[in-house]
Amino acid sequence: MDIKSVLEEIQPLDTETMEKAVKRLNSLTKPIGSLGVLENLAVQLAGITGDVIPTVRNKTVIVMAGDHGVVEEGVSAAPQSVTPQMVYNFLQGGAGINVLARLAGAEVKVVDVGVADPTLQDPNLISRKVRLGTVNMTKGAAMTRQEAIKAIEVGIEIAQTEIDQGINLLATGEMGIGNTTSSSAILASYTDTPLSIIVGPGVGLNAEGVNKKVKVIETALEVNHPDPNDPIDVLAKVGGLEIAGMTGLILGCAARRTPVVIDGFISGAAALIACKMAPRVKDYIIASHLSEEPGHLVLLEVIGLEPMLRMRMRLGEGTGAALAFNVIEAATRIMSEMATFEEAGVIMD
C-alpha cells in the first residue's frame, strides 16, 4: 500500500470507547486515578482498539537495520562493521533486546533495510534492502526521496504483515552505527535547541568526539537545507534507512489501529517524522522510556509524548520498548481482572 493511502486511513481515537473505559476504571476497587499511568494506558488502548477492555495477545519487536555513510566523518566510537555483526547477534538471540523480549513473551524480528554489507543473509532475516547504507550526508543527501519513500513502505508492509498474523502490540527497534548523528540532525530540523545540548555520545564518544559530531551535523544541515515542512525531505537528506523503516512501521500501526511502542532516541526520530506526516499518529504511540541521550527529552517534548520509564538506558535495539511491554500488559490486566466495587461488595458510602 502506498504512503498516501496509509495516511488517509489514520483516524482519530474512539472517544466513546475511551469514555466507557474511564467509567469502568472508576468503578474498580481503588480510589479514582490511583493507578496513574496504568489508567492512562488503559484508556489510550481502548481508544486505539475500540475495545473497552483491551487485551495484549501477541507482541513483536521489529528491529530495523541500516548503515550510515556519515560514519566516514568519525562520528561513532564503533566501526560500521558492528552493524552486521549485531544483526547476526539478534538473529542468534544473544543481544539485550532478545533477553528483554523473551522476558516479555515477545518475538524479535530483524529487517535489513539498508545494511552496507552485501553478504548479509540468514534464513530468519527479513531482507528488504533499499540500498547499501546511506551516503555521507555532509556531502549531499543521505538518500534520494524515492529511496526514503521505499524504506517507509518497507515499514508499512512489515506492520501490516505482522498485524495480519495476529500481532496486536508492536515495538520499534533499530541497529545502525552512526544513527544518533542522523537522529540529532532530524531533531535539529524541528527545534531551535542548540546542537550542543541535543547531541550526545552515542555508543561512547568522549567530549572531543561529541564536539566533532556537532560540527559534522552543522555541516550536513548547511549542505542539505532539509525542509521541516516536508518530513520526507528531512528524512531523505539527513535521516537513515532504518529510521525510515521505523517511520513506516509507526504509520502502518496507526492506520490499522494497533498500538506501537517506541524505544529511545532513534525510534523517537522516526516517530517525529511519522507525526509530522500525520499528526494523528501521536495518539497511537506509547513512549516507553527516557533515554540517556540528551536530545531524547527535547525530541519527546517536540512530539508531545511523555515517557513511562526512566531507567538510564541508552542501548537502543528496542530494549526500552520491550521492558515497557510488561507495564502495558499490566494496564490491560487491571481492566480485565480487577473487581468492581459492586462485584466485591465494597460500599464506599
Output the pLDDT for position 347: 87
169-175, strands of its sheet edge to edge: 126-127, 107-114, 59-66, 169-175, 260-262, 285-287
3-state class (DSSP) for residue 51: coil
Average pLDDT, the chain: 97
What average pLDDT does the segment 216-225 reach?
98
Read off the pLDDT of residues 100-126 as tens digits, 9 standing for 90 and up.
Answer: 999 999 999 999 999 999 999 999 999
Output the pLDDT for position 140: 98
Q: How many helices (H) and strands (E) does the chain have?
A: 15, 6
Output the pLDDT for position 158: 98
Output the pLDDT for position 203: 81
What is the fold, at CATH topology level, of the domain defined by 3-54+334-344?
A: 1.10.1610
- Give the residue numbers marked as catalytic: 317
> Sorting pLDDT into bands at 50, 70 and 90, what band is 2?
confident
Checking if the pLDDT of 149 tops 80, the result is: yes
Question: Which CATH architecture best describes the domain 59-328?
Answer: 3-Layer(aba) Sandwich (3.40)
The packing angle between helices 231-238 and 207-224, to 10°, is 130
Give the three cell numbers for residue 297: 527529552
Read off the pLDDT of residues 253-264 as tens digits, 9 standing for 90 and up.
Answer: 999 999 999 999
Provide the percentage of residues in the chain whose pLDDT is more than 90.
97
> Sorting pLDDT into bands at 50, 70 and 90, what band is 193?
very high
Provide the percentage of residues in the chain whose pLDDT is more than 70.
99
Output the pLDDT for position 202: 87
Read off the pLDDT of residues 10-46 as tens digits, 9 standing for 90 and up.
Answer: 999 999 999 999 999 999 999 999 999 999 999 999 9
Cβ 286 vs Cβ 328: under 8 Å: yes
The boundaries of every CATH 3.40.50.10210 domain in the chain are 59-328
Cβ 70 vs Cβ 182: under 8 Å: yes
Read off the pLDDT of residues 52-96 as tens digits, 9 standing for 90 and up.
Answer: 999 998 999 999 999 999 999 999 999 999 999 999 999 999 999
* Cα distances (Å, whole numbers) of residue 306 to 217, 288, 300, 309: 27, 9, 7, 9
Cβ 288 vs Cβ 307: under 8 Å: yes
Cβ 162 vs Cβ 153: under 8 Å: no
- Gap between the Cα atoms of 110 and 125, Å rounded: 6
The boundaries of every CATH 1.10.1610.10 domain in the chain are 3-54+334-344
